[in-house]
Amino acid sequence: MPIHIPRHGFDHATPSDITPRAIYEQRRDLIKLLAGGAAGAVLAGWAARDAMAQTARPGQLAALPGARSAVAGAVTMEKVTTYADATSYNNFYEFGTDKADPARHAHALQTSPWSVEIEGLVNKPGRYALEDLLKLSPMEERIYRLRCVEGWSMVIPWVGYSLSALIKRVEPQGSARYVEFVTLADPKQMPGLRSRVLDWPYTEALRLDEALHPLTLLTFGMYGEVLPKQNGAPVRLVVPWKYGFKSAKSIVKIRFIEQEPRTAWNKAAANEYGFYSNVNPDVDHPRWSQATERRIGEDGLFAKKRKTLLFNGYEAQVGQLYAGMDLRKNY
């Protein structure tokens, strides 16, 4: 099913020609959200966002400030999920399959020293210490929607920089078409590895052009502080237009390869979890609908589910990556 990629004034003047693109797209997203019936939450989020350049720190971990991002689509106007919810309701199966298991068990994870090995089809392979990665590019705050394949969502202020900064530094070779990410797998620190729910270590992957997209974030923090261990410390990926499991946590290896790799959930259930796993309300999971989502923190008696947006609301930014592609076949 070819997707329609909206045009934004390439042939004639539009507001985007006289307004900085990031601001224009934020305003457009605001209008779309208001039209979708989320006026109260959106206006509250907009007011809070306008009042301060950065999200207030919870005061739990070391500070990791990030400048306001100028990347188009990098700052949603929706109300941010509370730190308590974002750090207590997690999927990180290395620590257990219950949502509370990561917060319960991840305290044992040793995040220092830490390094990430870059290998495969690159001109500059090597092992990068966490300290070097932290200095590689200026930190930005990106307030992204997070949509889980299970049908729930959050809004989280992440801190990091576009993965493209690292990719350009290591110089991929012409034959590199995919980027694979490998999560730490240490049974001494991760009790969930005793289960056989997945083939360990956890691996995920992106096409190279997806990895190079400016919204793809190499992430070191959230809420103005370093990442909590249960959220993928000390370095993880965040790809906001894909289901959450595509965003690998606690990364220890990044591999550049030519052929599309099998990934953890794809190996576990290929009919349920495709390689792309782009958020799509029109392609249901075999066991449940993806048309709507439950926003964590909006669980009151009269709370309504939200309509899920194609590419999690980032169609204007990433839709061109999939122009002409059958999104039902390439789920």
- Give the other-Cβ count within 10 Å of 181's Cβ: 24
In-domain check, residue 292: yes
* Across 165-179, average pLDDT: 98
pLDDT in the model for residue 8: 36
Tell me the C-alpha distance between 46 and 76, whole Å. Answer: 9
In-domain check, residue 241: yes
* Across 108-129, average pLDDT: 98
Residue 225 and residue 209 in contact, taking contact as beta carbons nearer than 8 Å: no
In the chain, what is the straight-line distance between the N-terminal and C-terminal CA atoms, in Å? 11
Torsion of CA 15, 21, 22, 28, to 10 degrees: 30
- E strand or H helix that includes residue 170: helix 164-170
Answer yes or no: is pLDDT of 36 > 70. Answer: no
Q: Give the DSSP letter string of 199-250.
A: -SSPEEEEEHHHHHSTT-EEEEEETTEEPPGGGT-S-EEE-TTB-GGGS--S
207-262 pLDDT, tens digit per residue, is: 999 999 999 999 999 999 999 999 999 999 999 999 999 999 999 999 999 999 99
pLDDT in the model for residue 21: 47
Residue 149 and residue 159 in contact, taking contact as beta carbons nearer than 8 Å: no
In-domain check, residue 229: yes
Q: How confident is the model at residue 29 (pLDDT cuts 50, 70, 90)?
A: low
Rg (CA), the chain: 19
Of 114, 94, 29, 92, nearest to 309 by C-alpha is 29
In-domain check, residue 6: no
Average pLDDT value for the chain:
88
123: domain CATH number is 3.90.420.10
pLDDT in the model for residue 97: 97
In-domain check, residue 327: no
SS3 for 173? coil
In-domain check, residue 185: yes
Domain that holds residue 161: 15-322
Answer yes or no: is pLDDT of 28 > 60. Answer: no
Instruction: Give 154's contacts (C-beta < 8 A, 6+ positions apart).
Output: 81, 85, 86, 145, 146, 295, 296, 297
Residue 269 and residue 257 in contact, taking contact as beta carbons nearer than 8 Å: no
- One-letter amino acid at 283 equals V
In-domain check, residue 126: yes
* Helix axis angle, 39-51 to 21-35, nearest 10°: 150
- Of the chain, the percentage scoring pLDDT greater than 90 comes to 81
Please state the domain count of the chain. 1
In-domain check, residue 10: no
